[in-house]
């Protein structure tokens, strides 16, 4: 008898935020500084390179902190190793995957796109696709990403825009 692997439907979502003053060319280099996400997301205790050159496809970063909870949300700090897959400097799009973690993500890929917004500002779109995570709901994950993106965007905009 042939066994078929169970293939639960993947969770796919996008969160987005708009920056009123920061231009795409100001925000893009901050995202391609792949080994330093902790500068923009304070709940991330650490983010540093463990393989390759920062911002080049194939490089791997290690992230840990309270922004990432281990499966079940216990007191253990969550961590992940993430590999940068693609970087498109023309369209300002990058994608990365989680290659190892203690947070329950399997088959996880994210894409970030920075686009102009009319005459001023920019829009940051963050897409993700992941196998369902035991003990989590997709709605909770989307809310978590919305909050994280708002914090990241606010901190980036404060840094690049002089009033």
**Structure confidence by residue, pLDDT tens digits, 21-75:** 999 999 999 999 999 999 999 989 999 999 999 999 999 999 998 755 545 545 4
Has residue 1 been placed in a domain? no
Domain count, the chain: 1
Using one digit for the tens of pLDDT, what is the confidence trace for 71-118?
A: 554 546 789 999 999 999 999 999 999 999 988 888 999 999 999 998
Residue 63 is assigned to a structural domain of this protein: yes
In a domain, 80, yes or no: yes
Domain range enclosing 156 = 11-160
Q: How far is CA 144 from CA 4, 6, 67, 90, 139, in A?
A: 33, 27, 9, 29, 9
Report if residue 2 sits inside a domain: no
Stated pTM of the model: 0.87
Residue 6, in any domain of the structure: no
Q: What letters, b where the CB count within 10 A reaches 16 and e where it falls short, cover 128-139?
A: bebeebeebeee
For residue 4, tell me if it sits in a domain: no
Beta strands 122-130 and 11-19, pairing class: antiparallel
Whether 57 is covered by a domain: the verdict is yes
Give a yes or no: residue 3 inside a domain: no
Q: What is the CATH number of the domain that holds 21?
A: 3.30.530.20
């Amino acid at each position: 008898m042939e066994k078929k692997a169970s293939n639960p439907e993947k969770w796919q979502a996008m969160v987005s935020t708009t920056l009123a003053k920061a231009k795409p060319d100001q925000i893009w280099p901050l995202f391609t500084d792949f080994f330093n996400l902790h500068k923009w997301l304070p709940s991330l205790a650490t983010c540093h390179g463990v393989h390759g050159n920062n911002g080049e496809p194939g490089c791997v970063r290690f992230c840990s902190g309270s922004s990432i909870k281990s499966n079940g949300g216990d007191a253990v700090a969550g961590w992940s190793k993430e590999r940068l897959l693609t970087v498109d400097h023309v369209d300002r799009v990058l994608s990365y995957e989680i290659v190892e973690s203690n947070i329950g993500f399997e088959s996880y890929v994210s894409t970030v796109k920075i686009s102009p917004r009319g005459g001023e500002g920019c829009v940051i779109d963050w897409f993700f696709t992941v196998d369902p995570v035991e003990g989590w709901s997709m709605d909770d994950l989307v809310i978590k990403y919305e909050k994280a993106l708002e914090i990241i965007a606010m901190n980036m905009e404060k840094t690049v825009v002089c009033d």
